[in-house]
């Protein structure tokens, strides 16, 4: 079982992808809009706008500081 992050899983392709992958994997879903269709034991859902605040800067900084460990 893999841990998969899906950004934009509130509707459309992201929602469909989360539902399919949740059958065999742990999903961390992020979306600006809450969707109650994502009620599955393998889906951990978070409502947030990833472009607001310093979240993008924090994600980039964390990746940059630890990139050698990820390669």
Question: The domain containing residue 23 runs over which residues?
Answer: 3-70
pTM: predicted TM-score of the whole model, two decimal places: 0.68
Mean pLDDT by 10 residues, the chain (71 residues): 91 95 93 86 86 67 62 47
pLDDT of residue 3: 92
Domain count along the chain = 1
**DSSP labels, 24-61:** TSEEEEEESS--GGG--TTEEEEE--TTSTTHHHHHHH
Long-range contacts for 38-47 (Cβ within 8 Å, ≥24 apart)?
A: 38/9, 43/18, 45/9
């Amino acid at each position: 079982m893999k841990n998969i992050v899906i950004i934009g899983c509130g509707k459309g392709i992201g929602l469909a992808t989360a539902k399919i992958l949740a059958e065999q994997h742990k999903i961390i879903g992020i979306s600006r809009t809450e969707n109650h269709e994502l009620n599955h034991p393998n889906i951990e859902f978070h409502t947030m706008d990833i472009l607001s605040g310093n979240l993008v800067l924090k994600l980039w900084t964390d990746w940059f500081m630890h990139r050698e460990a990820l390669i």
